[in-house]
Amino acid sequence: MMNPPAPTVSQTLQAALALQRQAYLAHPVPTLQERVADLRTLQRFVREHQEALCDAISADYGHRSRHETLLAEIFPAVDGIDHIISHLRGWMRPQSRSVDWRSFFGARNRVIPQPLGVVGVIVPWNFPLNLSLVPLSYIFAAGNRAMVKMSENSRHLAAYLITHMPAYFSPEKLQFFDETGGVGIEFSKLKFDHLLFTGSGQTGKAVMAAAAANLCPVTLELGGKAPAIVCDDYPLQTATERIMFVKLLNAGQICTTVDHAWLPASKVDEFVALARGIVQARYPTISSPDYTSIIDQRSFDRLLNALDEARSGGAQVVQLLDGPAFDAATRKIAPTLVLNAPPDCALMQREIFGPILPLR
199: Cβ–Cβ under 8 A, 6 or more apart, which residues?
122, 124, 207, 222, 223
Tell whether 192 and 250 lie within a shared domain: no
Q: Is the pLDDT of residue 1 over 70?
A: no
- Residues designated catalytic: 221, 255
Give the structural domain span for 67. 9-96+109-222
pTM value > 0.85: yes
330 assigned to some structural domain: yes
Instruction: Please give the Cα distance from 140 to 131 (Å, whole number).
Output: 14
Would you place residue 356 in the very low, low, confident or very high pLDDT band (cuts 50, 70, 90)?
very high
Indicate the number of domains in the chain. 2
**Domain termination residue (choose one: 190, 222, 254):** 222
Residue 223 has pLDDT above 90, yes or no: no
DSSP string, 337-350: EEES--TTSHHHHS
Q: Are residues 165 and 294 in the same domain?
A: no
Count CA atoms closer than 13 A to 229's CA, side-chain side.
3
Asked if 332 and 232 count as a contact pair (C-beta separation under 8 A), the reply is: no
Alpha-carbon separation of residue 347 from 44, 307, 314, 320, 342 (angstroms):
42, 8, 13, 18, 9
Domain-ending residue, one of 190, 207, 222: 222
SS3 181: coil
Q: Are 187 and 120 spatial neighbours (Cβ–Cβ below 8 Å)?
A: yes
Q: Are residues 271 and 167 in the same domain?
A: no
Decide if 283 is inside a domain: yes
Q: Note the pLDDT tens digit of each residue in 82-121.
A: 999 999 999 999 999 999 988 888 899 999 999 999 999 9
In a shared domain, residues 249 and 297? yes
- In this structure, the answer to whether residues 183 and 238 fall within a common structural domain is no
Helix (H, G, I), strand (E, B) or coil at 66: helix
Residue 1 located in a structural domain? no
Q: Is the pLDDT of residue 4 over 80?
A: no
User: How crowded is residue 164: how many other Cβ atoms within 10 Å of its Cβ?
Assistant: 15
Q: Are residues 14 and 145 in the same domain?
A: yes
The answer to whether residue 104 is domain-embedded is no
Q: What is the CATH number of the domain that holds 327?
A: 3.40.309.10
Q: Does 3 score more than 80 pLDDT? A: no
Per DSSP, the three-state class of 17 is helix
Other CB atoms within a 10 A radius of the CB of residue 176 amount to: 24
Strand partners, 222: 199
Question: Which residues have C-beta within 8 Å of that of residue 205, sequence separation ≥ 6?
Answer: none
122 has pLDDT over 80? yes
Same domain? For 15 and 145 the reply is: yes
Write the DSSP assignment of 96-146 as a string of letters. EE---TTTSTT--EEE-----SEEEEE--SSSTTHHHHHHHHHHHHTT-EE
- Residue 355 domain-assigned (yes or no): yes
Residue 274 lies in a domain: yes
Give yes or no: residues 231 and 355 share one domain: yes
Residues 208 and 238 in one domain: no
Domain finish residue from 222, 254, 287: 222
Positions of E strands within 277-341: 316-319, 326-327, 332-333, 336-339
Distances (CA, A) of 128 to 135, 288, 295: 11, 23, 12
- Whether 163 and 272 share a structural domain: no
What confidence score (pLDDT) does residue 319 get? 97
4 is a domain residue: no
Residues 58 and 161 in one domain: yes
Query: Which contacts qualify for 134-141: CB closer than 8 Å, 24 or more apart?
Result: 134/76, 134/77, 134/80, 135/196, 136/42, 136/174, 137/39, 137/42, 137/77, 137/80, 137/81, 137/84, 138/84, 140/35, 140/38, 140/39, 140/42, 141/35, 141/39, 141/84, 141/88, 141/91
pLDDT score recorded for residue 233: 96
Summarised one tens digit per residue, pLDDT across range 138-171 is: 999 999 999 999 999 999 999 999 999 999 999 9
Q: Quick one: 180 and 231 in the same domain?
A: no
The domain that holds 85 is classified in CATH as 3.40.605.10
Q: Tell me, what's the pLDDT at 106?
A: 87
Strand partners, 122: 149, 197
Question: Which DSSP helix (H) or strand (E) runs through 67?
Answer: helix 66-69
Residue at 295 is within a domain: yes
